[in-house]
Amino acid sequence: VFSPRGIPASYRHQQGFGVNTYRWVNNAGETTLVKYHWIPKQGVKSLTASDAATIQAAELGSHTKDLYAAIEAGDLPEWELKVQLMDDHDHPELDFDPLDDTKVWPEEQFPLHPVGRMVLDRTPENFFLENEQIAFGTGVLVDGLDFSEDKMLVGRTFSYSDTQRHRVGANYLQLPVNSPKATTVATNQRDAPMSFAVDGGTNPHINYEPSTLGGVHEAARTAPVEQGPEYSGRLTRAKIERTNDYQQVGEHYLLIEAWERDDMVANFIDALGQCDRPIQERMIWHLLLAEDELGLKVGAGIGISPEDVRHLEPLATQNLTEPELARLSGLGKNGPRDVAGKVMTHCVPNKREIVAR
């Protein structure tokens, strides 16, 4: 968020990440964990915070205008859809929890596989109809796709459809923009405002099954009832254990472009400069645990050295590992992390779009 990756130069140059982990299920009921990525064919391009502010001071909706202009000029933006796959079982060998949304799956271990593409080839004819009423949500799945135990995915899945029933209406899935195109729908769901169709079947008056009078029928199952790994254990509300919250942050800092590092440091100095001293100290402590250079540079910008924060104890909610405790005892003097051979999708080349003033 603090680096230019959070400020794409345009929608056409924005990279997309699913963040949540889903499952793929095949006809035999075998499952694989999957993460989705959209890679722009146009390349990834970003703005510094001050260049973005220059644009915003003079223009409203610059990204939307850029997208319309490009499509209308026939310069159709295209993204490649890629997936990372992971065997669906416990992974004690990983130093992070693969279902923790704050972590990425390192690409040298989980390479990206191309599976499709998306081309934006026209602009909406009617914005309200085709855009405002769209209801995207994490809970709308096609056959072969299933949820994982990713905690945030579970939360989002309840939240989006509830919001959409409120925002658009109880029958939002019947709107053409939200309904499937190549299949018939048979939910048995009936009535409520703005209902304009009843599910197929032999008798439109019967909304339950089984019935000798006809009505819709549940589709035949295409996949086995039992699928995925077998678990034995207790379902808990426990926190994620293997957090490893600093390593990927430090690696990310080292793997992004030099100009992005400079802007990230400047953005942290700007934001933390406005905070109270105890918050500033704690944040420098966190940044130093992630990567020396990041903590030292931001600290220098707001007048806080490793000596000033060395006395801080880990937070009560933290359970630091041995390597993290070792970093803590050498705070500010750990040297750069070893990122040789590391590949992170979030660190693909990012070209700076410079704004004329």
User: What is the four-CA torsion angle of 326, 328, 329, 334, rounded to 10 degrees?
Assistant: 70
Q: Is 355 in the site for ligand HEM (CB under 6 A)?
A: no
Q: How many CB atoms lie within 10 A of CB 298?
A: 25
Provide, rounded to whole angstroms, the least separation between the CB of residue 137 and ligand HEM: 7
- 154 contacts 21 by C-beta, under 8 angstroms: no
φ, ψ at 32 (rounded to 5°): -140, 140
Nearer to ligand HEM (CB atom), residue 68 or residue 231: 68
Does 91 bind ligand HEM (CB under 6 A)? Our answer is no
CB of 131 to ligand HEM, least distance (A): 9
Residue type, 103: K
Q: Which is nearer to ligand HEM, 61 or 336 (CB)?
A: 61
Do the beta carbons of residue 18 and residue 37 sit within 8 Å?
A: yes
Distance CA 235, CA 240 (A): 13
Where do we find the tokens 């310069």? 75
Judged by CB under 6 A, does residue 19 bind ligand HEM? Answer: yes
Q: Kindly state the number of chain residues that form the binding site for ligand HEM, as judged by CB under 6 A.
A: 11
164 binds ligand HEM (CB under 6 A): yes
Nearer to ligand HEM, 157 or 247 (CB): 157
Distance (Å, whole) CA 182 – CA 339: 46
Position 18, amino acid: G
24 binds ligand HEM (CB under 6 A): no
Q: Which of residues 123-162 bind ligand HEM (CB under 6 A)?
A: 135, 152, 155-156, 159-160
With CB under 6 A as the contact rule, the residue among 109, 163, 184, 203 that binds ligand HEM is 163
Q: Smallest distance, Å, CB 165 to ligand HEM?
A: 9
Give, as ranges, the residues between 201 and 260 that touch ligand HEM (CB under 6 A). none
- Omega of the bond leading into 210 within 30 degrees of 0 (cis): yes
Give the nearest distance from C-beta 88 to ligand HEM in angstroms.
Answer: 21
Nearer of residues 135 and 289 to ligand HEM, judged by Cβ = 135
DSSP assignment of 120-189 equals -----SSHIIIIIT----TT---TTEEE-S-HHHHHHHHHHHHHHHHHT-TTGGGSGGGS-SSS------
Of 102-110, 139-147, 163-171, 249-257, the segment contacting ligand HEM by CB under 6 A is 163-171
**In this complex, which beta carbon is closest to ligand HEM, that of residue 35 or of residue 261?**
35
Residue ranges binding ligand HEM (CB under 6 A): 19, 101, 135, 152, 155-156, 159-160, 163-164, 167
